[in-house]
Amino acid sequence: MPTFAEQIQDKSGMIKALFFDIDGTLVSFKTHKIPQSTIDAIGMAKNKGIKIYISTGRPYSLIDNIEEIKPFVDGYITTNGAYCFIGEQVISCSPIPEKDVRKVLGFADEMDFSTMIVGEKDLITYRCNDAARHIFQEILNVSNIDTGIPVESMLKQPVLQLTPVISENTEQQIMPLLQGCTCSRWCPDFADITARNANKGNGLLAVISHEHIQAAETMAFGDGGNDIPIIQTAGIGIAMGNANERLKSVADYVTTSVDEDGIFQALKHWIF
């Protein structure tokens, strides 16, 4: 009977697709850039015929920090799995029920917090404040957080994600009142609310079903709580060295941090 490590090593030879979170995985929080070793490793994987997918909490319009690897990317899981596409083809779309969207906006008014509203086409930051600007512009290096589109216009399109700037205590107060939603958190300062069935793991399943790839033939990388579903769903789940302890506990392998060539080190271990 082969050991668990030997079984995992056998699976690594079958890998046909790699799924990468962006912030804290591909892109350093310190430099806001992709390390050159990561760019080189992804290029090497692509040359071996392995497909490359992005798996992020960001909407596509805010993916502005992966230009160096975009030519390698075959498809995207965005907004924590609520919107997945390959080329011009939408693979899955899971909007939040409108009644739950309106509840969150009501909570924002009552409890005085900011929330990003991500629609299928547009986004705005409702009740944008200094805390939201600090998080999105300074920590995440995102500039276009407030497009000025009226809220009611946003509600005329499917809303894929709400990102309220709230504490975990506030999250625990409001989430039981949102029957059609789930919540994940990859930064202590805000939460990502999506439709109940939307997460990165289900996004992976939608993509590989379309691409005729088996889950055992995939490898996923992440660093935050919102990566747990995809790390558990992929054939091999890799936690970055800078990941939180909960993610590390469910991963098959823990590599070094994003700033210590973590992706290169993991792919060198498993693929090259």
DSSP per-residue letters across the chain: ---HHHHHHHHHTT--EEEE-TBTTTB-TTTSS--HHHHHHHHHHHHTT-EEEEE-SS-GGG--S-TTTGGG--EEEEGGGTEEEETTEEEEE-PPPHHHHHHHHHHHHHHT--EEEEESS-EEEET--HHHHIIIIIIS----------HHHHTTS-EEEEEE---HHHHHHHGGG-TTEEEEEEETTEEEEEETT--HHHHHHHHHHHHT--GGGEEEEE-SGGGHHHHHHSSEEEE-TTS-HHHHHH-SEE---GGGTHHHHHHHHHT-
* Model confidence band, residue 1 (pLDDT cutoffs 50, 70, 90): low
Summarize pLDDT for 52-71 with one digit per residue, the tens. Answer: 999 999 999 889 999 999 99
173: CB partners within 8 A, 6+ apart: none
Where do the structural domains in the chain lie, given as residue ranges?
4-94+199-270, 101-195
Q: How many CB atoms are closer than 10 A to CB 237?
A: 25
* Model confidence band, residue 156 (pLDDT cutoffs 50, 70, 90): very high
Average pLDDT over residues 99-124: 94
Average pLDDT over residues 215-235: 97
Over 80: is that where the pLDDT of 233 sits?
A: yes
- Comparing 4-94+199-270 with 101-195, is the CATH topology the same? no
Given the candidates 3.30.870.10, 2.170.120.12, 3.30.1240.10, 3.60.150.10, the CATH classification of the domain at 101-195 is 3.30.1240.10
Average pLDDT over residues 231-260: 97
Residue 142 is predicted with a pLDDT of 75
Average pLDDT over residues 132-146: 76
Average pLDDT over residues 16-25: 97
Residue 82 is predicted with a pLDDT of 97
CATH 3.90.1150.10 assigned to 4-94+199-270: no
Average pLDDT over residues 193-209: 97
Over 80: is that where the pLDDT of 3 sits?
A: no
Over 70: is that where the pLDDT of 29 sits?
A: yes
Residue 5 is predicted with a pLDDT of 46
Over 70: is that where the pLDDT of 74 sits?
A: yes
Q: Whole-structure pTM over 0.85, yes or no? A: yes
Contact status, residue 196 vs residue 181, Cβ threshold 8 Å: yes
Over 80: is that where the pLDDT of 140 sits?
A: no
User: Residues 6-15, buried b or exposed e (16+ Cβ, 10 A)?
Assistant: eeeeebbeeb
